Amino acid sequence: MAVTTTSVAEICAAAKRAARVLGSAPTETKDAALEATARLLGERAAEILEANAADLADEKAAGLTEALRDRLALSEERIAGMAEGVRAVAALEDPVGEEIEHRTLASGIDLRKVRVPLGVVAVVYEARPNVTIDCAALTIESGNAIVLRGSSYAERSNGVLAAIVREALAEAGLPADAVLTVGGGGREELAELATQEGLVDLLIPRGGEGLKEALKSVATVPVMYAAAGNCHVYVHADADPEMARRIAVNAKVQRPGVCNAAETLLVDAAIAARFLPAVLADLRDNGVELVGDERVRELSGDVEVGAAEEEDWSREYLKLKMAVGVVDSVADAVEHINSHGTGHSEAIVTTSEEAAEEFVAGVDAAAAYVNASTRFTDGFEYGMGAEIGNSTQKLHARGPIGLRELTTFKYVARGNGQVRE
């Protein structure tokens, strides 16, 4: 069992004890735990799939949307991908002990600024069992213990995966309690986890705005929100139309139930008449339900486009639905995005370097793309091995939350008897 104690406070206290050991563990030992995790994922694939099938068949999952069922579902390919992600994390440079700055003060004291683990990281997440493995791998390599609270409808899948990591930790000679889970209890349990001052050093919620608001009202520990993604693709007047069609379709269709999928397509008025009929047909042919403003609907040809309501421009659909609008300039596109977006990932398609620079400088987002899909905002794609989530905040981390984002720093000062006058 992944949970060895009964209350949230006891679980967090056990994680804190494990963090003190893991925080000073050699890189080789942490890497050994990750390699064992990757190996066990392959060896236990049948067990993982059996647990996942039971979760999908349970009545708790009966009312899930198609996007959430997709997030919940595992396959041999997805398990292999998890193992690949664990090995990719192990191959990265260990951030613990990294020297950030080094200088000699006027007093003669030698001052170094070095990376250290945060301590205990708690993660609250919905549906996706692969998050269990990604989070555990990143926290182990960065010297942190982790307390995981997944969805009740993924309880079997998460339990098997957490047990595998705990077994790997023990095999490597590290405390198994560096990875612990709490049950998918109600809001009271969530509130208890969010108030474990002195035990939990950082709480990262992965979920919608409802989860975010629930935590804002009660949390007394530091929180870094891996929040919703209302992402946009803006097709500039000077865009290559074929490139723009590929990017718009990929950003919406490739995996619509994730936070870096595009929810809104904005098209410059100068190109709208010749571009919109083709891209709308592409989206329709890929099963996308379309809503748009009046200018879009007038130019849609034989493609059915519903009337967009005001709330459509701010909505994270997480399914095959997209809002489409016409704007008159880069400045208008930026204004629309900053008014309705969530600060996640925004893209412009253009051959104009001037327009690209104006867009990149203007959009208030963790990731800005020029001539590429928003789907690339991902720790694995960014060469970070994996991610715990994507932060839309500006402190302490922004964008994919990887190894370095799970560390803080301390100043180490060495003298030879200096005292301050």
Model confidence at 2: pLDDT above 70: no
Give the tens place of pLDDT for each residue, 184-237. 667 788 899 999 999 999 999 987 777 888 888 899 999 998 768 999 999 999
Smallest CA-to-CA distance from 364 within 175, 231, 185, 181 is with 231
Mean pLDDT of 275-279: 98
For residue 312 the two structure tokens come to 């459509």
CATH of 231-376, one of 3.30.230.70, 1.10.8.80, 3.40.309.10, 3.60.15.10: 3.40.309.10
Residue 228 C-beta-side C-alpha neighbours within 13 Å:
16
DSSP code, position 384:
S
Q: State how far the Cα of 196 lies from the Cα of 91, in Å rounded to an integer.
A: 33
Q: What is the pLDDT of residue 227?
A: 67
For residue 290 the two structure tokens come to 């379309």
Q: What is the pLDDT of residue 1?
A: 40
Find out whether the peptide bond into 396 is cis, omega within 30 degrees of 0. Answer: yes
For residue 243 the two structure tokens come to 């490139």
Question: Distance of CA 385 to CAs 48, 204, 320, Å?
Answer: 22, 18, 28
Give every CB contact of residue 344 below 8 A, 6+ residues apart in sequence: 227, 228, 229, 230, 231, 259, 260, 365, 366, 367, 374, 377, 390, 392
Give the tens place of pLDDT for each residue, 18-76. 999 999 999 999 999 999 999 999 999 999 999 999 999 998 888 888 878 888 999 99
pTM of the model: 0.85
Whose structure tokens read 């942190």?
A: 144
For residue 358 the two structure tokens come to 């104006």
Mention the CATH class of domain 8-226+388-414: alpha beta
Q: What is the pLDDT of residue 395?
A: 84
Percent of the chain beyond pLDDT 90?
A: 83
Spell out the domain ranges in the chain. 8-226+388-414, 231-376
Out of 82-86, 166-170, 386-390, the most confident range is 166-170
What average pLDDT does the chain have? 94
Q: What is the CA radius of gyration of the chain?
A: 23
Q: State how far the Cα of 140 lies from the Cα of 95, in Å rounded to an integer.
A: 11
Whether 27 and 403 have beta carbons less than 8 Å apart is answered as: no
Backbone angles phi, psi at 239, to 5 degrees: -75, 150
Strand partners, 125: 206
